Amino acid sequence: ALDRRIACAAAMLAAGGISRGMRVAVLAQNCSDLYELMFACGRVGALFIPLNWRLTVAELSYIFANAEPALLLHDADNAEAAAQLVAGKDVALVLMGGGDDTPYERALAAAEPFRNPVALYHDDVQVLMYTSGTTGFPKGAMLTYAMAFWNAINLGVPIGIGAETRFLSVMPFFHTAGINLFGNPVFHAGGHVLMMRAFDPGATLAALGDPALGITHFFGVPAVYLFMAQHPDFAATDLSALRIACVGGAATPPPLLELWSRRGIPLANGYG
C-alpha cells in the first residue's frame, strides 16, 4: 500500500513536470505523506527539501530563494506562509494532509502508479536540508543516498532494527533526526514507523505504554526525555515493550540518564 502511494505520488510529480535534478519542497508538520513524498522524489530523481515550519516567512524566504524549488507542498496550518513564499514566482503549490479531500489525495487517487524510476547512485543527493544559520545564512546540507544507506546499516545493526521493529517518530521531519533517527533505517529493514504530528510528553508516554502499538524503538533529544520524566504518568507507564531508547543532539545530564535507568530504560547515547 505504501509502495503504491509512493508510485502514485511520483506520477503526480512527473505529471507536474518534475524530473531528475529538480527540487521539491514541503512545509508541513509530521505526517506519513512526508515519507511518501521523499521516496517519490527518489523515483523521479528530484531532491526533497523539508522546510522548517517553525521559521518566519522572512527566514524561509532566504532558504526558498536559495533552494529554488519547482514545487511546494504544504499542510493547512502552513497554507498562508506557503502562499507568501510562492507569491510572484513560477512555483506550483499543492495542499496535502488532513483527509481525503485535498489536492494531494485527489492527485494520488487519479494517478496511475509511476513504473519507470530513474537510475540513482550513492553520490546522488536525496535530501537538501538547511542548517539553522546560527552564525550566518542557512546552508543546504546535501544528504546523499550513500549517507542514508550507511546510516541504516551503521545504526540498524547495533540497535537491533529489523522487520519486527516498531518505531515511534516524534522528531520534526525538517531535521535529520526526523528522517534518519530511525525512520529510514526502519523502512530499510521492513519495519513499522509510527509518526506523531508533534511531540507531546503525555501522548508519547501513552503511545510507548500502549501494548496494541508495541513500540520497540524510540529516539529523542534530552529535552524529550526530560519532559516525559516530569510528566505525572511517567512512573506508572509500562515501558517493558521498549527495547532501546536513544538520545542525542546535546549532552544528556547524568541525573536524567540515571532517572530513566531506574525505570529500566538505559538511554543509549548517540552523537552529541
In sign, the C-alpha dihedral spanning 21, 2, 159, 241 is positive
Query: All 3 cell numbers of residue 185?
Result: 533505517
Q: How far apart are the first and last CA of the chain?
A: 37
Q: Are 185 and 161 in contact (CB under 8 A)?
A: yes
Stated as kind and residue range, the H or E segment containing 126 is strand 125-130
Banded model confidence at residue 148, pLDDT cuts 50, 70, 90 = very high
The pLDDT score that the predictor gives to residue 9 is: 97
Mean pLDDT, residues 123-129 taken together: 98
Q: How large is the average pLDDT for residues 44-55?
A: 97
Range of weakest confidence among 98-102, 120-124, 263-267: 98-102
135 pLDDT tier (thresholds 50, 70, 90): confident
Strands (E), 155-238: 166-169, 192-195, 217-220
* The pLDDT value given to residue 110: 95
CB-based contacts of 240: which residues, under 8 Å, 6+ apart? Answer: 264
What mean pLDDT do residues 206-230 have?
A: 98
